[in-house]
Amino acid sequence: MTDAACGNDKELIVDRRDYLIILGVPKSGTTSIASFMSQLPDVVVARSKETAFFTDFSDRTWSGPGAGFADALVSSEAAFAEEFAADPSARLRVEASTDNLWCPGTAERILEFSNRRDVGAVHLVVIFRDPVARIVSEYEHTLRLGWQKATLLESLRAEPERRRQGWHPLFYHVERSRYATQLKPYRDLFGDRLLVLDFHTLSTGDWTDTLLEFVNLPKPADIPVLERKNERYVSSRPWLNRGLKNSAIQSLGRALVPPRFRSAIRSAITPKSTERYRPSPEELAFVKDALANDIAACLKDPGIPTDNWSDLI
């Protein structure tokens, strides 16, 4: 931020930056959208993409599989500013924490941030996806990481206790799917500064003009291709994936294996199963019952795209 006095009784001139804050939801293309935005001129995406700066995560005590993620949380103003150091003069800064939408109090914290003198326009985007498909993708992610062996139904039933114990948000299947309830405070506080996109239509490209206009960016001559990032798969050897993340094993691998062979060898020893997990009737019934009120509210809300929620309608 640059301040320059223009006289004793005049306001300071502040060099403001605009922000695009992607609220979520998890497993709905937020990484792909952030990657798309990073290819545009005068735009910089937060280095970690998901800073969790606006959440209360740094005040929580975390446990269970993946609890170490808390060590990388961005909690200070200085650390948040440093996230955009790749291009600090870029007019638009993009932050895309998938937990922004559901985390209590985040809407109010973003509003407070948007009222600062060094902050320009703040645009909010949320991407919604069929809740069942989202939950399945999230569950598959925990399997891929080797964080659990439970069935989806067991994971759903264990969610309340896991939340009480402070497990990683990847286990918050139902909680992170309460779209209508969690969208309301953002609508109340931000009104037309909030844009809702449909995950199921991202591949068509129809959303690009809408998004660029929403954040007041000119349409470039060459529109970047939206690449699928963080694509789901289930590893058939999650234990081996965990082993390959060990620092000692990584150091040994770098010493013994030439760089050009590393990717092929890793793929060969950690094959992926891309077969989609199919929820059982009991699992579908559990999700529908747990989200009954929110699903009904979403179906009645013309501002929430539900045409592609085939698992629920």
pLDDT at 278 over 90: no
Chain mean pLDDT for the chain: 86
The Cβ-side half-sphere exposure at 203, using a 13 Å CA radius, reads 4
pLDDT value at position 233? Answer: 44
User: For 174-198, what is each residue's pLDDT tens digit?
Assistant: 999 999 999 999 999 999 999 999 9
Q: Record the pTM.
A: 0.81
Q: Is residue 122 part of a domain?
A: yes
Q: Is residue 169 part of a domain?
A: no
Q: Is residue 193 part of a domain?
A: yes
pLDDT value at position 241? Answer: 52
**CA distance linking residue 245 with residue 136, whole number of Å:** 25
pLDDT at 250 over 90: no
* Structural tokens at position 159: 């969610």
Q: How many domains does the chain have?
A: 1
Residue 262's nearest CA partner among 274, 250, 272, 271 is 250
pLDDT at 1 over 50: no
Q: Is residue 247 part of a domain?
A: no
pLDDT band at 5 (very low <50, low <70, confident <90, very high): very low
Angle between the 152-165 and 131-144 helix axes, to the nearest 10 degrees?
A: 80
Positive or negative torsion for Cα 213, 176, 82, 222:
negative
Q: Would strands 3-4 and 119-128 be described as parallel, antiparallel, or unpaired?
A: unpaired
pLDDT value at position 99? Answer: 97
pLDDT value at position 50? Answer: 95
Of 33-42, 164-173, 174-183, 224-233, give the lowest mean pLDDT range. Answer: 224-233
User: For 64-119, what is each residue's pLDDT tens digit?
Assistant: 999 999 999 999 999 999 999 999 999 999 999 999 999 999 999 999 999 999 99
Could you write out the three-class secondary structure of 208-238?
HHHHHHHCCCCCCCCCCCCCCCCCCCEECCH
pLDDT band at 259 (very low <50, low <70, confident <90, very high): low
Containing 195, the helix (H) or strand (E) segment is strand 194-198
Q: What's the domain range around 192?
A: 15-130+174-229+295-300
We report the CATH number of the domain holding residue 62 as: 3.40.50.300
Which has more pLDDT, 7 or 298? Answer: 298
Which has more pLDDT, 274 or 278? Answer: 278
Rounded mean pLDDT, 199-204: 89
**CA distance linking residue 235 with residue 146, whole number of Å:** 8
Q: Are 36 and 140 in contact (CB under 8 A)?
A: no
Q: Is residue 61 part of a domain?
A: yes
pLDDT band at 203 (very low <50, low <70, confident <90, very high): confident
Rounded mean pLDDT, 225-243: 52
Q: Is residue 278 part of a domain?
A: no
Q: Is residue 84 part of a domain?
A: yes
pLDDT value at position 2? Answer: 41
Q: Is residue 261 part of a domain?
A: no
